[in-house]
Structure 1
């Protein structure tokens, strides 16, 4: 679910700064590709994540999923926006796995991709993953009812 009524340039700048700061914590000794992500929850809080690599590369995790999982761990599953920051000249978009995880929560959520020169491109999860795998709403409602 998306709730982006409070997304404005000030909010995007705040997310961008948070993503830049957390990017410094990225653990990427193999690729040296540092990524930071900042996700604004519907609760107004910012959930950040950085990529963490492993010598067994399949065990690595991207910054976007770290941010989402931190938010979900805090009980937040509705988001306003995601900002993704890298130190690359070219803009970098979320990988396929991250796109699918983001689609689980909101196809309409705005995603802002930012490079080291602070060039910003805005898109949505749906535009990044137009044919995402999603369950019907009725199944989601049933899941939520069964949880409680």
Structure 2
């Protein structure tokens, strides 16, 4: 099982969350919540208002999200879903654990609050240069007060 940190439309309550719980794509088990140890710019960009984590460590905010354990089948699905490696790249990032819900048979396997773990994150180095000038967010919500509502793939022209 691999650990994946999701910060955008794949989080609970967001437009693509159903992919995380769809067993036909593989297994994804919610483990907890956290935020990036380093700061990153999280922007909403493009005509479909897609959240992008720009792979520029040290700029932006500590981005919040959810930690999942996923099997190889789900990881492969997520790579395809995220357009990896062209649109997004899957890279290891240090995540600070804020809350841990994951079940474990051994208490020592449960990470402590404020401990740091490495998770895969879909971020991008292949962004438009002007995206650097967009507002940076620390937490993505498709219905947030930014007014930039995410456009589902099936609704795109």
Same fold, TM-score > 0.5, yes or no: no
Structure 1 or 2: more strand by fraction:
2
Structure 1 or 2: more helix by fraction:
1
User: What's the TM-score once normalised by structure 1's chain length?
Assistant: 0.26
Query: RCO greater where, 1 or 2, for CA within 8 Å and sep 6 or more?
Result: 2
